[in-house]
Homo-oligomer: A and B are copies of this chain.
Amino acid sequence: MPQPVNEFGLISKYFAPLADGYAGALGLKDDGALISVEFGYQIVVTCDAIVCGVHFRSEDRPEDVAARGLRVNLSDLAAMGACPVGYLLALAVPSGTDASWFERFSAQLASDQATYNVKLIGGDTVMTPGPLTLSITAFGQIPTGQALTRAGAKPGDKIFVSGNVGDALLGLKLLRGELGSVSASQAAALKNRFLRPEPRIALGQALIGVAHAVIDVSDGLIADIGHICTLANLGARLNISSVPLSLGARAVLGDVPDLLPNLLSAGDDYELVFTAPSSALETLSRISSDTGVMVTEIGEVVATPGVVVIGVGGDEVQMEASGYQHF
């Protein structure tokens, strides 16, 4: 039988333990929290909200909601090269939500906190007559003046992406039952890529002083490269044949080749896309090896604004490159 919950009970039972070990959280018992910053460091702060029915599905497990909510924020910190420290959680929950939901939700947060070395330091839990809405503000630290930004791309820079592109979209399609012919293990891997995005934290930090411009893929590969280009008033040439695809994605494309453009326009992969000079190639190879994250050169920055996609045959491909509009 569902157990009733109240705000103070929720905080003491499920959330205060997540603040253990961060003295400035004041046990989540005060009006705010205290963040101390080492001399020579800045704070990097980012905020992402996710809404049930929009950014995740009502049938998603509380564990998946927790992981997604936290990790998309950590991905933003990664894209700036920051070392994650903590986060605040604003949770608007439907009144029917029972204790077991909070139990599972907070257990996943605890697990992710251990993985990514972050602590909950504050937040707010409120009731909503609407869908579950989760807003996280994450913060990290970085040596002053060293933050990676989306600006700074230079003509002639090579464009790189971490990991594989498009898996998250295929995972979502599998979860929706829109794709059939994939092996069970490949299907599980693709679904996991959607449900459990992997913030590229070590890679982001390693790119300090190496990359000129960095963004995480949340609007779609082409759109996010476009964001970098727009800020520098430059353009990009993206080679389709260089875009890294997982074995699972290749298997799907073998059956449904028309999906390729969708993979390049889909968000949710949370890989890092960045530009760096050719001279950085050797360094990037070492970084890839050190962090265990594949890094692939997929194009270059050019003077002419706009993102041009080059097909397998070397011709320009016309694509709808608007990317995901969050709103």
A residues with a Cβ closer than 8 A to B are 5-8, 10, 24, 26, 29-37, 39, 42-51, 53-55, 76-77, 79-80, 82, 88-93, 121-131, 133, 135, 137, 139, 142, 144, 147, 149-151, 214-216, 227, 231, 325-327
A231→B80 CA distance, assembly (Å): 39
Is there an interface contact between B43 and A34, defined as CB atoms closer than 8 Å? Answer: yes
Supposing A325-B7, A327-B125 touch, asked if A44 and B50 sit within 8 A by C-beta, the answer is no
Give Cα A53 to B126, complex, Å. 12
List of B residues within 8 angstroms of A36 by Cβ:
42-43, 144
A135 to B134, CA, bound (A): 9
State how many angstroms separate the Cβ of A146 from the closest Cβ of chain B: 10
Task: Give CA–CA (A47, B227) in the complex, Å.
Answer: 29
A49: chain B residues at CB < 8 Å are 90-92, 124, 126, 135
**One of B8, B80, B88, B142 near A31 (C-beta < 8 A):** B80
Which residues of chain B have C-beta atoms less than 8 A from A147's C-beta? 34
Question: Which residue from B6, B90, B142 sits with its C-beta under 8 Å from A90?
Answer: B90
Known: A31-B76, A33-B46, A80-B31. A54 touches B137 (CB 8 A): no
Task: Specify which of B6, B79, B130 is in contact with A325 (CB 8 Å cutoff).
Answer: B6
The reply to whether B327 and A53 form a contact with Cβ atoms under 8 Å apart is no
> Can you identify 16 A-B contacts, CB atoms within 8 angstroms?
A6-B325, A6-B327, A26-B149, A30-B150, A31-B214, A34-B142, A35-B45, A47-B88, A47-B89, A51-B129, A54-B126, A88-B137, A124-B135, A128-B131, A129-B130, A130-B133
